A and B are shown apart, each in its own frame.
Chain A
């Protein structure tokens, strides 16, 4: 409802226009009003439905489920934060090692081997074959090429 109100107010600020010449906020006001009406209706219906009923449904399936969800999210956030600075190879290695270890812990040897293979394959397929322009960072295919020269 808060979002809908914000959209309606912003829509009017952008300019509702008139029926002959709708402005840039025309659809924002319309869809905002629809969302406001529906969410208010749903809110009231839920209140009536749940009045006096205790809900026992748990949000997470297991007691430590939230940890796994948060760790997975954290890994994605860290990847987004470091990608431009460290480049694709390091970011991908960090992400893979973290996920292989943090969620269902694999052996270190297997973790590092898998992370290296996945990153290598991604570089070959996406960067070399499909020409995706990944951020370079300190280690990239170009620096690796230089090492071999």
Chain B
């Protein structure tokens, strides 16, 4: 009952004209950048972050959240029509979505992506509304050991879910932790790995790292060979899926919704992983797995629902624990801190308008996206027709402006270029970037939690195992790692014996 009255008060916040406008701006910009390949929600949020100084924190968070889930909607359009994912989270939609478009069924593919996203987005907001309060109460029991173990769990999940060898993913996580150390030590005040560069005193910013690793490296990778994008030429009509399409899709939509939401909550989970997991599950559960890859609507409905639902889920750790689970959430945390607010268990009590206003804005934002996406498909298609040789200079310029505008510093541009080169090489040598980014985001919190725990409990590491919540997180982490080690060891033994 308390939650319901809070939701109602949230609606009264979001229905204020200014907040409605910022919600609309957020979802529109989000859809646009989701459509454009190369610039993700993180880049767009980085670009718009400085502008949020001039608006209220509630409006700022509403707009930034709109960009995040709007990008998930927009990303599916490029995946279906051009076979190029606008977003990492919509990579998997290409597989069946593009095949459907080639068969003249682009309309139902786009339609089910939009409806699935709407249903998933709505359910995830409802789940968020009902789960956030008890989780915030639970979070009050968290001390440094629990936070430390939670971050270990987050990093383990990301390493566990990484493509390719687990050693490479672990190396990237370790490298991310090292990058997270850079800056002034908050306990002793000593500068660490700053090399006399003033801009490094506050640590390496997440924005230059992420825009370099994902934005610049993507462009460098794509300019190697300029591919002409073929936008589907058939007229897009019949956006409403037929009854059979609905029958096939309704199960994947609901499964994707719940899977995405709970993966979104976990640090290291999120939209990308949940979309891949949903696709794998749908293929496994299907009576006709052979149809996957040839234009199965389930392959669009499940992942699209999962990635939208994950965006809602990923707000839970941020709003209740103050722990960002991905780069976008790290920027949201930054936006709140800029306004003098500290996300965490007390946010809901101290700032109910902001907390519930943001949550209910997602509900309205999903309605706006449904209205925006279906009639405006034609407009998004036109955006897609911009040739890449014209598009990539714009992407680069937006990245440069976004990075510069955060601190008005050219040093940030240099960091972005460096990480762009690093990201390009990592792509070439098949190293995963996600563990690095999450480790960098969690690094400072991880260090504080570990050092505080050791100081409080007089250097006794057993404390991590004697406190139930912390022990549970560590047991799950160890189980995950062990489960990967066994087949990994088997594989390596086989490889060595093959070599012999």
* A contacts, CB < 8 Å to B: 3-4, 7, 10, 14-15, 18-28, 31-32, 34-35, 38-39, 41-42, 45, 48-49, 51, 59-62, 65, 68-69, 72-73, 75-77, 79-80, 83-84, 92, 95-96, 99-100, 103-104, 106, 114, 118, 122, 126, 129-134
Answer whether residue B271 sits at the interface, using C-beta atoms and an 8 A cutoff.
no
Q: Are A49 and B225 in contact (CB under 8 A)?
A: no
Q: Are B397 and A118 in contact (CB under 8 A)?
A: yes
State how many angstroms separate the Cβ of A19 from the closest Cβ of chain B.
Answer: 3
Given known contacts A21-B455, A24-B185, A83 and B51 CB-to-CB distance under 8 angstroms:
no
A-B contact pairs, 16 of them (CB 8 A): A15-B190, A21-B455, A31-B177, A31-B181, A34-B174, A38-B171, A38-B174, A39-B171, A41-B167, A45-B492, A69-B220, A76-B216, A126-B401, A130-B47, A130-B405, A131-B51
State how many angstroms separate the Cβ of B23 from the closest Cβ of chain A.
Answer: 18
Given known contacts A103-B226, A106-B389, A20 and B454 CB-to-CB distance under 8 angstroms:
yes
Write the chain B residue with the least CB distance to A66: B224
- Kindly specify which of B106-114, B313-321, B414-422 makes contact with the partner chain: B414-422
State how many angstroms separate the Cβ of A94 from the closest Cβ of chain B.
Answer: 11
State how many angstroms separate the Cβ of A108 from the closest Cβ of chain B.
Answer: 15
Answer whether residue B142 sits at the interface, using C-beta atoms and an 8 A cutoff.
no
* B contacts, CB < 8 Å to A: 47-48, 50-51, 54, 165, 167-168, 170-171, 174-175, 177-178, 181, 185, 187-188, 190, 192-193, 216, 219-220, 223-226, 389-390, 392-394, 396-397, 400-401, 404-405, 408, 410, 413-414, 417, 420-421, 424, 428, 443, 446-447, 450-451, 454-455, 458-459, 461, 492, 495-496, 499
A83 to B417, CA, bound (A): 14
A77 to B216, CA, bound (A): 12
Q: Are B224 and A65 in contact (CB under 8 A)?
A: yes
Q: Are B193 and A31 in contact (CB under 8 A)?
A: no
A118 to B455, CA, bound (A): 54
Write the chain B residue with the least CB distance to A104: B389
State how many angstroms separate the Cβ of A100 from the closest Cβ of chain B.
Answer: 6
Q: Are A76 and B420 in contact (CB under 8 A)?
A: yes
